[in-house]
Chains A and B, each alone.
Chain A
Amino acid sequence: MRPLPRFRVHRPESLEKALELLATLEKAKPIAGGTDLIPLMREVEVDVKHLIDLSHIGELNFIREEEGYIRIGATTTLSDLVASELIASKAPALWEAAASMGSPQIRNRGTIGGNLCNASPAADLGPPLLALEAEAEIRSLDERRWIPIGEVFAGPKVNSLAEDELLTEVRFKTPPQGAGSAFEKIGRRRAVTLALVNAAAYIEVEDETCRVARLALGAVADRPLRMGEAEERLMGKELSEELIEEVSALCGRLVRPIDDVRASAWYRREMSRVLSRRALLKAWRRCAT
């Protein structure tokens, strides 16, 4: 491992100040929990002279429901998500994903914004936020834009943000009464584990018919993937275990996993099928009819 490079830590207390530092300082990087960045800096050479610590910016730390949206500030920790009644009741997929991550120590530090910006293909918050059709607010000193959550991911460990931009908020439409969502993951132990495959499903059912179905899988491509073709086969249909089984088998074919030290691509395809089915079934069962 490398020694940590020498850097200066800045602790702005407002978003404005943070964006200003990011725009003006050379070789500056934002840091929140540091659970990904610090190990990364010890693994590979990271050209950084300034770290801008976002954890003292109160306006970035919130979970609230507003105007039909559930809004989550970027520095909201995984523990905050797990402690939130709102997330537990309205977005169980997101709750389950957060609860599955790391250890209590990691969840106390790691943040939603950090998990997304780290852009790991295995990011556990990727699939549930894709399934919830979440959006991310991206800000710089002079611009503010919303992008679909999938667009944060640009490749393995590469996000799409410009150097002077910050991910400041994540939002998704409050799921209507009766919607169901679920998250599933397979790792190599029961805690502190990277997903070999993870999956999240979101389903709305009306009059026995599936109105909305969304399914996303992680660790099976260079970024988390929506299973569009599978979703189409579910929408407008009456759900059944057979249909879900069939659609899950399709997911096993849609993914594009690789072989690595953790698992073979073949096993990941098999598990994509298994987890798709589990997530869809669980989400469906959670739909109050």
Chain B
Amino acid sequence: MEAEEILEELAERGEFIVIGRGVRRFDALDKALGRAKFTADYVERDALVVKVVRSSLPHALIKGINIDEALKIPGVVAVLTAGDIPGENQIGYALPDQPFLNDVKVHYVGDPIALVCAENEEAAFKGVEAVEIDYEELQAVYTIDEALSEDAPRIHGGEDNIAVTTRVRKGDIEEGFSKAEAIVEDTYETPYQEHMYIEPEAAYAIPEGHDKVTVIGTMQSPFLVREKVAGILGWNLNQVRVIQALTGGAFGGKDDMGPLVCAKAALAAVKLGRPAALILDRDESAAYSVKRYPARIRYRSGADAEGRMTAAEVDITVDCGAYANRAPFWLWRMTAHAAGPYEVEAVHVDGRAVYTNKVFGGSFRGFGDVAMHFAVESQMDMLAEKLGLDPLEFRLRNVLRPGSRTTTNQLLDHSVGIEECLRGVAEASDWWNRRGEVKRIEGKLRGLGVACAHHGISTSRGAPDWSAASLILNEDGTFTYRTGICELGQGSQFGHAKIVAEILGAPLESIRVEGPDTDSTPNARPTHGSRGLMLGGSAAADAALRLRGRMVKVASEMLGCDEGDVELKDGRAYDRRRPENSVSFRELAREMYIRGVSPAAYGFYAPPRRYFDPETGLGVAYPVYTFAATVAEVEVNPETGEVKVVEVWPSMDVGRAIDPLLIEGQIHGAIAQGLGFALTENLIVEEGRVLNPNFKDYVIPSSMDMPRVSDVIIVEKPYRHSAFGAKGVGEPAIISIVSAIANAVYHATGIRFRTLPITAERLYRALRGEKP
């Protein structure tokens, strides 16, 4: 196809115009000045306040819901329950196990039962307190072992509490272990992680006439929100208009929470014929919104005398909480990445996700790969030690290379840069000289740890995936670009603009990005799976290339030269042979409009089709993988057990760096988030109740806890099937930092933690001989 040739030509030219350069984002100024508008900024004063009546019990039958007292409170306009839902009372993501408003049974503390709609917050609050729920309490299930026990109550009926299972059977596992010189086996557990995005979940719904509703909200998948809202209302998709407001942090959580929150506001607005807003409080957000799924991994792996991996046998259990939500995708991701970014001939994986009566898990940056790599990277360190090898050297002997096959036997023929990442961080951190002995500085112990990561981009297995975008050349030579990919702080939209600018030779400031509005922006599918730039940007490239073809054709006629001699640069079309001969994009645009040449283009992109066999777990699990390696240095204070992360050396194979500043931003943020998961973040859930739903006691790191971050080593192994070869960055950034810290703590102290977080008290106890 011609378009691909042009893109290839652009990708191969020695110097790019904007790609690869760090450029100040065009949303930076408004955000810094506080002028950027988020969902709550759109809510009018007379909007109805919606508050959720939630279950106070972890597992119970609902015998009755009495709203009479609530309705007597001045200012309470209505209390909506399941019976008020015109569409289907079901909002499960992967499985239909999740009622939108519960009227039969509740499955966790916080399960929604009713919506109080009131004139103000005070009345709404009193209304929620006044709704009486008559429960018949049921025995609750809190742990994986309880969920799997024979006599456990079945949370969603059926034969057991297992929501989904997975398996991989690759190679001969017995033979693999028989070749092993060293075998290590252990069990790893990772806890919940709460996103703690600075902006809590919010939605504002405005009824438009009698049969349409507009919903403004904080989200990651506007078209999924549209589908879910339409389902609850029993409406067609085109009766629901969803606008994604700038989103104040998402990290996956708002992919899942967007539909839940938007549908509640929309139901209130449509039922009552008035604008309605639902904004979660911090404690609601922290206690009842989705979390990183807790997981337990049993891992047995072996390597031969030459330090080559021979076998890995992995058993994964994911704790879903009350609903499956994303668990099938989460579990498949863990399953497909079970061997880590290493070549292992024989791999057997068995996975299951189980229900418990706790807050349900959901999307969170890294999506299962943080937990999986924590196990993998701990095992790699232990195997290296057993074989008497340096852990970095041991990894180098096993990393995936072009021509390697993954856990699921997927052949990686190109875009595999993990070896370069690993060598890069080894050199930058002076690993070979510094890893040796543990340094003691004023009684404190310094340790150096390494970890690798790989992360498949976008959706797992053979699930169809695609993206779309549109681009209009305006009469004045400027461009309006529309994408359904959301701005969540990460800057993907800006990346799209750079791709468009590069292809069209347009000044960046002449391109205006219009964010998601389901009535006008093409469906780019979700902003998750680190796909926003790779998938969304490739659709942008397609649109730009289509428009470019027409611009070049008209320009060649205006300039009186061959199309092949037309160069687009700095907002002008030049005749390459006579550069003084040129027209501006404004002149070119006017000419296109006059001649009736379409000035708009719709871009569409789909990665190559894949085949995956869920029975054997073999096949192409993801179109492409991003790779990362990290070295971390920690300082342990044996007097208190505190761990200070001193310095981090990050690297990543990003395919192609569209903007190094965006990559750096993602990596710095991920270091903070990973550091929190590794060391301090500890959601305390007792009998299904979250005891610390606040910033005071759910401890995320502050800027003062940030380590020195060495220059990011960017490795570029372009992916053949995306615009300029770019791959996703957001999620891979958090995976290796967690394990690198844990491995560094081991190096400093000789104590291996198989559960997280490594809090000061836990480490203090372990240093005094308690089992970690």
Hey, what's the 0/1 contact readout for A151-189 against B, CB within 8 Å counting as 1? 000000000000000000000000000000000001011
Shortest distance in angstroms between B196's beta carbon and chain A's nearest beta carbon? 13
Shortest distance in angstroms between B194's beta carbon and chain A's nearest beta carbon? 14
Contacting chain B: which of A60-68, A234-242, A267-275?
A267-275
Instruction: Please tell me if B433 contacts chain A, counting CB pairs below 8 Å.
Output: no
Residues of chain B from 690 to 743 with CB closer than 8 A to chain A in the complex = 691-692, 695-697, 699-705
**Is there contact, CB below 8 Å, between A189 and B680?**
yes
**Is there contact, CB below 8 Å, between B702 and A261?**
no
The residues of A that contact B125 with a CB separation of less than 8 Å are: 2-3
**Is there contact, CB below 8 Å, between B704 and A3?**
no
Instruction: Please tell me if A209 contacts chain B, counting CB pairs below 8 Å.
Output: no
**Is there contact, CB below 8 Å, between A188 and B704?**
no
Hey, what's the 0/1 contact readout for A188-201 against B, CB within 8 Å counting as 1? 11111110000000
CA of A262 to CA of B691, assembled, Å:
11
**Is there contact, CB below 8 Å, between A270 and B702?**
no
The residues of A that contact B404 with a CB separation of less than 8 Å are: none
The residues of B that contact A270 with a CB separation of less than 8 Å are: 764
The residues of B that contact A271 with a CB separation of less than 8 Å are: 640
Determine which of A6, A261, A264 lies in contact with B122 in the assembled complex, contact meaning CB atoms within 8 Å: A6
Instruction: Please tell me if A44 contacts chain B, counting CB pairs below 8 Å.
Output: no
The residues of A that contact B639 with a CB separation of less than 8 Å are: 274
Instruction: Please tell me if B642 contacts chain A, counting CB pairs below 8 Å.
Output: yes
The residues of B that contact A186 with a CB separation of less than 8 Å are: 640, 642, 760
Q: Which residue of A lies closest to B684 (CB)?
A: A261
Residues of chain A from 219 to 237 with CB closer than 8 A to chain B in the complex = none
Instruction: Please tell me if B393 contacts chain A, counting CB pairs below 8 Å.
Output: no
Determine which of A3, A191, A264 lies in contact with B702 in the assembled complex, contact meaning CB atoms within 8 Å: A191
**Is there contact, CB below 8 Å, between B640 and A274?**
yes
A261-B691, A261-B697 known; A267 vs B703 contact (CB < 8 Å): no
**Is there contact, CB below 8 Å, between B282 and A1?**
yes
CA of A81 to CA of B376, assembled, Å:
50
Q: Which residue of B lies closest to A267 (CB)?
A: B761
CA of A157 to CA of B64, assembled, Å:
39
Determine which of B121, B696, B702 lies in contact with A190 in the assembled complex, contact meaning CB atoms within 8 Å: B702
Instruction: Please tell me if A263 contacts chain B, counting CB pairs below 8 Å.
Output: yes
Q: Which residue of B lies closest to A275 (CB)?
A: B640
CA of A271 to CA of B696, assembled, Å:
20
The residues of A that contact B696 with a CB separation of less than 8 Å are: 194
Instruction: Please tell me if B521 contacts chain A, counting CB pairs below 8 Å.
Output: no
The residues of B that contact A2 with a CB separation of less than 8 Å are: 125
The residues of B that contact A188 with a CB separation of less than 8 Å are: 680, 699, 759-760
CA of A267 to CA of B761, assembled, Å:
7
The residues of A that contact B120 with a CB separation of less than 8 Å are: 3
Shortest distance in angstroms between B252's beta carbon and chain A's nearest beta carbon? 23
CA of A188 to CA of B701, assembled, Å:
9
Q: Which residue of B lies closest to A3 (CB)?
A: B121
The residues of A that contact B760 with a CB separation of less than 8 Å are: 186, 188
Determine which of B284, B684, B702 lies in contact with A189 in the assembled complex, contact meaning CB atoms within 8 Å: B702
Instruction: Please tell me if B281 contacts chain A, counting CB pairs below 8 Å.
Output: yes
CA of A275 to CA of B695, assembled, Å:
25
Q: Which residue of A lies closest to B698 (CB)?
A: A261
The residues of B that contact A103 with a CB separation of less than 8 Å are: 702
Shortest distance in angstroms between A239's beta carbon and chain B's nearest beta carbon? 20
Determine which of A191, A193, A264, A274 lies in contact with B761 in the assembled complex, contact meaning CB atoms within 8 Å: A264
CA of A6 to CA of B283, assembled, Å:
21
Interface centre among A103, A188, A193 (most CB of B within 10 A): A188
Q: Which residue of B lies closest to A278 (CB)?
A: B639
The residues of B that contact A261 with a CB separation of less than 8 Å are: 684, 691-692, 697
**Is there contact, CB below 8 Å, between A193 and B699?**
yes
Q: Which residue of A lies closest to B120 (CB)?
A: A3
The residues of A that contact B759 with a CB separation of less than 8 Å are: 188
CA of A270 to CA of B761, assembled, Å:
10
Q: Which residue of B lies closest to A1 (CB)?
A: B281
CA of A193 to CA of B694, assembled, Å:
12
**Is there contact, CB below 8 Å, between B684 and A1?**
no
Residues of chain B from 657 to 699 with CB closer than 8 A to chain A in the complex = 680, 684, 691-692, 695-697, 699
Residues of chain B from 602 to 645 with CB closer than 8 A to chain A in the complex = 639-640, 642
**Is there contact, CB below 8 Å, between B121 and A1?**
no
Hey, what's the 0/1 contact readout for A1-16 against B, CB within 8 Å counting as 1? 1110010000000000
**Is there contact, CB below 8 Å, between A262 and B122?**
no
Q: Which residue of A lies closest to B49 (CB)?
A: A3
CA of A271 to CA of B759, assembled, Å:
14
Hey, what's the 0/1 contact readout for A256-286 against B, CB within 8 Å counting as 1? 0000011110010011001000000000000
CA of A194 to CA of B694, assembled, Å:
13
Shortest distance in angstroms between A6's beta carbon and chain B's nearest beta carbon? 7
Shortest distance in angstroms between B676's beta carbon and chain A's nearest beta carbon? 9
A6-B122, A186-B640, A188-B699 known; A267 vs B764 contact (CB < 8 Å): yes
The residues of A that contact B281 with a CB separation of less than 8 Å are: 1
Shortest distance in angstroms between B277's beta carbon and chain A's nearest beta carbon? 14
Shortest distance in angstroms between A183's beta carbon and chain B's nearest beta carbon? 16
The residues of B that contact A192 with a CB separation of less than 8 Å are: 695, 702
The residues of B that contact A267 with a CB separation of less than 8 Å are: 761, 764-765
The residues of B that contact A264 with a CB separation of less than 8 Å are: 761
Residues of chain B from 730 to 772 with CB closer than 8 A to chain A in the complex = 759-761, 764-765
The residues of B that contact A194 with a CB separation of less than 8 Å are: 696
**Is there contact, CB below 8 Å, between A263 and B702?**
no
Residues of chain B from 539 to 580 with CB closer than 8 A to chain A in the complex = none
CA of A190 to CA of B705, assembled, Å:
6
CA of A6 to CA of B701, assembled, Å:
34
CA of A76 to CA of B201, assembled, Å:
37
Hey, what's the 0/1 contact readout for B274-292 against A, CB within 8 Å counting as 1? 0000000111100000000
The residues of B that contact A193 with a CB separation of less than 8 Å are: 699, 702
**Is there contact, CB below 8 Å, between A3 and B764?**
no
The residues of B that contact A3 with a CB separation of less than 8 Å are: 120-122, 124-125
**Is there contact, CB below 8 Å, between A190 and B704?**
yes
Q: Which residue of B lies closest to A277 (CB)?
A: B639
The residues of B that contact A191 with a CB separation of less than 8 Å are: 702-705
Shortest distance in angstroms between A184's beta carbon and chain B's nearest beta carbon? 10
CA of A103 to CA of B704, assembled, Å:
10
CA of A286 to CA of B1, assembled, Å:
77
Residues of chain B from 122 to 152 with CB closer than 8 A to chain A in the complex = 122, 124-125
B interface with A by C-beta (< 8 Å): 120-122, 124-125, 281-284, 639-640, 642, 680, 684, 691-692, 695-697, 699-705, 759-761, 764-765
Q: Can you give 22 contacting A-B residue pairs, CB < 8 Å?
A: A1-B281, A1-B282, A1-B284, A3-B120, A3-B124, A3-B125, A103-B702, A186-B640, A186-B642, A186-B760, A189-B680, A189-B699, A189-B701, A189-B705, A190-B705, A191-B702, A191-B703, A191-B705, A192-B695, A193-B702, A261-B684, A267-B761
Report the 8 A-B pairs with minimum CB-CB distance, sorted nearest first.
A190-B704, A3-B121, A191-B704, A1-B281, A191-B702, A188-B699, A267-B761, A3-B122
Besides A186-B642, A189-B699, A267-B764, 6 more A-B contacts (Cβ < 8 Å) are A2-B125, A3-B125, A103-B702, A189-B704, A191-B705, A192-B695
